[in-house]
Amino acid sequence: MKPLVSVDELARLIDQDDALVVDCRKELSSPDSGRRAWSAAHVPGAVYADLDVDLSDLGKRDLGRHPLPDEAAFSDVLGRWGWRPDRPLIAYDDAGGALAAARLWWMLRLIGAQSVGVLDGGWAAWQASGLPIESSEQIPPREQVSVHYAASQLVGYEDLQASLKDGSVCLLDARGAPRYRGEVEPLDRVAGHVPGARNRPFTDNLEANGQFKSARQLAEEFTAIIGPHVPQTVVHMCGSGVTACHNLLAMEIAGLHGSRMFAPSWSGWISDPGRAVAVGGEP
């Protein structure tokens, strides 16, 4: 499945009764906002994914604000949703895919799933289409699921530091420019960025209507940022490993395959006061 799915394509999958639709809406300032929104109205048949509960393990320390859940915990979540490896999964939210549809898409790719996509334009596009919505909760039959993360797609602290030192990776920070430069920091205790990181705000991936830019435009923009680096040497980060997935998704849409994730991101990086911090513009 291609990583980006249109409203019409999702509607056909739902008509064929052949898709698991997952509502990933979330407001970071209001933990229950996404579930309330889902309860009020959602794409027919959609289950709800809570970023803090289903797609993260907030009990882990020193791995950022949204650490990845253990493989067993994520397996249980997927089983509760009725997911199977041969069943297409389409995720959506109301933030252009950034909170937290792209996160779920990336986690599915991390376990090797191929039939997974993000709804282009998300909830707003579905509503604008005039297609049916519902508020009832459907409990899918539970499946037995056991998944494993591809460790090769994850970059840890030591590997990142060594790779930045020898220049073998291009680190892209998906946060807004003022946060990257250290001018403001609304969420974490230290402002700034990882020395050597370049800034690609995830919002630059979207048109004014909340849909993704064309594959060609995304390819041109990311190629200009990463320069001589090939996609496989690109590593993504953000504040907590959520909006960084949006940049990884955008690169896949652009045909720039194989970039990886520094999942702890900025909030994990600053958990050790000994790690260097940079402020100001790009190197």
Mention every residue, 6+ apart, whose C-beta is less than 8 A from residue 59.
none
Report the run of H or E that residue 199 belongs to, with start and end: strand 198-199
Return the exposure string of 239-277: e unless at least 16 CB atoms fall within 10 Å of the residue's CB, then b: bbbbbbbbbbbbbbbbebeebbbbbbbbbbbbbeeeeee
Tokens of 68: 């990845």
CA within 13 Å, CB half, 204: 20
Amino acid code (one letter) for 73:
A
Reduced to 3 states (helix: H, G, I; strand: E, B; else coil), residue 9 is helix
Helices in the chain by DSSP H: which ranges?
7-15, 33-40, 71-81, 101-110, 122-129, 157-166, 177-181, 215-226, 244-253, 265-269
> From the candidates 24, 170, 238, 245, which is the catalytic residue?
238
238 is an active site residue? yes
Sign of CA dihedral 270, 276, 280, 281: negative
Distances (CA, A) of 268 to 3, 4, 165, 180, 229: 28, 29, 19, 15, 25
Tokens of 114: 């191929």
- Which residues belong to the active site? 238
